[in-house]
Chain A
Amino acid sequence: MNKHEQDLQEVVDQAIAEQKVPHVKFKKIVPESVDIARLTSPSKETRQEHWGKGLTSLAIAVIGILIVAIIGFVGVRGLATFVDDKVNIFNFLLTSNWNPSAGKDHVGAAAMIVTSFAVTLLAALVATPFAIAIALFMTEYKSGRQAQFLQSVMELLVGIPSVVYGFLGLTVIVTVTRSIFGGTGFGILAATLILFVMVLPTITSLTVDAFKAVPQDLRKSSAALGATRWQTIFHVVLRAARPRILTAIIFGMARAFGEALAVQMVIGNAVLMPYNLVSPSATLTSQLTSQMGNTVMGTLPNNALWSLALLLLIMSLAFNFLVRLIGKRGS
């Protein structure tokens, strides 16, 4: 028993000795002595609390370790191309000569970078008007049953696995583009059409949130000024929701940029600079999925692929950063 506890014991003993409540038979309720050790030790509840908090913090720590590990591992492997194999980073980003097995002067990813951005931007461009229309329909035009129905339509579109989209693209879209535009039918156009459906639910649900966040008062004031529904939507709702709509589009683009299998099945997988929408080309993800198994760990072709993966990771982080930036500006 330390000094502090001894003092406490004295105080408690004194308090018991001095206790005077005239009306109560007081031997019965006042303890003869007090066990300080029990009094100062944590209660069962406190111990449960520590246990619970520790357990849940552990789960959080696991998630933290995961993200550090991903960035660390992919980063180290991805940088090996530039550190070990001495590939010039500007060559990697700006030239489109991709044949890593031929040596370090043939590691140019520009064709894939351009294609990746092209399909991403086009998909977002096609999907956004539809997403805004659906979101307006759900929030400004109909709310009850019809909105619920559209909600389930979107959930189903999310739920369909990406390979199924890829298979549909392969059997339907590629066939159609081939018969209309000639050539093989594989290419950016087919990838765009598939990605459009895949990113639509993402953009829509976030846009719905954006519209719902616009205060009802604004709409009412606009209506009170005699504005038609469209005038209210165009001048008030869309403007107030603009930052969040932009965020929604970026989230959609992040999804499109990272989508691998569906794109790989319809893009044609030829690492060439795309010169039109229906010529076969390759994105970062499609090249990764189709080639990773064909290379030997630690060789230049393999390292070059890991650099593509690192590029994907960096782009994913960049999209996140962009969303945050817009969020800050908007608030």
Chain B
Amino acid sequence: MNSKRTDRLATGVIYLLVAIIILVLIGILGNILIAGVPHLSWHFLTSASSSFEAGGGIRDQLFNSLYLLVLTLLISLPIALGAAIYLAEYAQDTWVTRLIRTTIEILSSLPSIVVGLFGYLLFVVQFGLGFSIIAGALALTFFNLPILTSNIEQAINGVPQAQREAGWALGLSNWKTIRGVVLPSALPGIITGIILSAGRVFGEAAALIYTAGQSGSTVDYSNWNMFSSTSFLNVMRPAETLAVHIWKVNTEGIIPDVNLVSAATSALLVIVVIIFNFGARLLGNWLYKNLTAAKVK
């Protein structure tokens, strides 16, 4: 009887703790969305931010976040893809491989502020790039690479061995098999991985404060010349992203409508992250169904 009562008690406690966490999430999401969404207007999204007065928007920050995301993925994706293919298909279990895996683990657990400061030291100071989008994108690459690599490796490992053997049986080289057989079937998993890492990059701020900078320069959206200093495509201009913007307005607190701006920006960030999360899952399932012969679990 006693042990049964303990069992029931334990079950109760576990359910209670789970319920608390669900309430915490509802509280967090509710708080962010209720405080922020009413202030999300077209005007807010499309007007420039102001440094001293109320009523500024987040146009440049929004564009910078997206631009930085694209640049980061352009740099990190090829490297991550190559590294993941090597680890999944070529690497034997030797000390070199183990060292590489350890390296990737260490890289993925480094605090993002350390990565950011390293980026500052190497790209901003040493290479003389100054606070710039490209320095930010390179720093984010560091931050992104290990996660992307292990995601892609998992996706590749998920491809059944029989598919590779079929490729070899046709006389294809290992590399041809990987490119023609393994990668297409791993594609849904790879794309899901990319989207999830994109969500992280989008909200990252600590690695960007001292690389992409905390100030926006005047940007002209009709200037398509990448090398002009006022062009929105120029990678050498300093750029503040959405996440950095929230941090900056809260720590400096010069504008009077700090709470409004950060609540709305937070809501926007969270909405984007939710879209990324669900989008990744939906797109992954859809691709899985349509690109591969396998059944959806």
A binding-site residues for B, Cβ under 8 Å: 44-46, 48-49, 51-53, 55-60, 62-64, 66-67, 69-70, 73-74, 77, 129-130, 133-134, 136-137, 141, 150, 152-153, 155-157, 159-164, 166-168, 170-172, 197, 200, 228-231, 233-234, 251, 254-255, 257-261, 264-265, 285, 288-290, 292-293, 297, 306, 309, 312-313, 316-317, 319-320, 324
CB contact under 8 A between A231 and B109, given known A59-B86, A265-B250? no
What is the distance, in angstroms, from A233's C-beta to the closest C-beta of chain B?
7
A257 to B113, CA, bound (A): 11
Q: Are B25 and A258 in contact (CB under 8 A)?
A: no
Answer yes or no: B45 CB below 8 A from chain A CBs: no
A160 to B21, CA, bound (A): 15
Residue of A nearest to B85 (CB): A56
Answer yes or no: B73 CB below 8 A from chain A CBs: no
B binding-site residues for A, Cβ under 8 Å: 3-4, 6-7, 9-11, 13-15, 17-18, 20-22, 24-25, 28-29, 31-32, 35, 78-83, 85-87, 89-90, 100, 102-107, 109-115, 117-118, 120-122, 125, 142, 145-146, 149, 171-176, 178-179, 199-200, 202-206, 209-210, 214, 243-244, 246-247, 250-251, 259, 262-263, 266, 269-270, 273-274, 276-277
Q: Are B32 and A168 in contact (CB under 8 A)?
A: yes
Q: Are B79 and A59 in contact (CB under 8 A)?
A: yes
Could you list 11 examples of A-B contacts with CB < 8 Å?
Answer: A52-B85, A56-B85, A74-B118, A152-B277, A153-B25, A156-B274, A159-B203, A162-B205, A164-B32, A312-B113, A316-B111
A144 to B22, CA, bound (A): 17
Q: Are A161 and B7 in contact (CB under 8 A)?
A: no
Residue in B117, B250, B277 whose beta carbon sits within 8 Å of that of A166 in the complex: B250
Interface of B is mostly: helix
Among B81, B85, B109, B145, the most chain A Cβ lie within 10 Å of the Cβ of B109
Q: Are B32 and A59 in contact (CB under 8 A)?
A: no
Residue of A nearest to B273 (CB): A159
Q: Are B117 and A309 in contact (CB under 8 A)?
A: yes
What is the distance, in angstroms, from B247's C-beta to the closest C-beta of chain A?
5
What are the residues of chain A within 8 A of B270 when measuring CB–CB? Answer: 160-161, 164
Q: Are A52 and B178 in contact (CB under 8 A)?
A: yes
What is the distance, in angstroms, from B79's C-beta to the closest C-beta of chain A?
5
A153 to B21, CA, bound (A): 9
What is the distance, in angstroms, from A293's C-beta to the closest C-beta of chain B?
7
CB contact under 8 A between A77 and B121, given known A63-B104, A285-B111? yes
A126 to B250, CA, bound (A): 27
Q: Are A230 and B262 in contact (CB under 8 A)?
A: no
Residue of B nearest to A317 (CB): B106
Among B25, B178, B204, the most chain A Cβ lie within 10 Å of the Cβ of B25
CB contact under 8 A between A45 and B172, given known A63-B104, A231-B7? yes
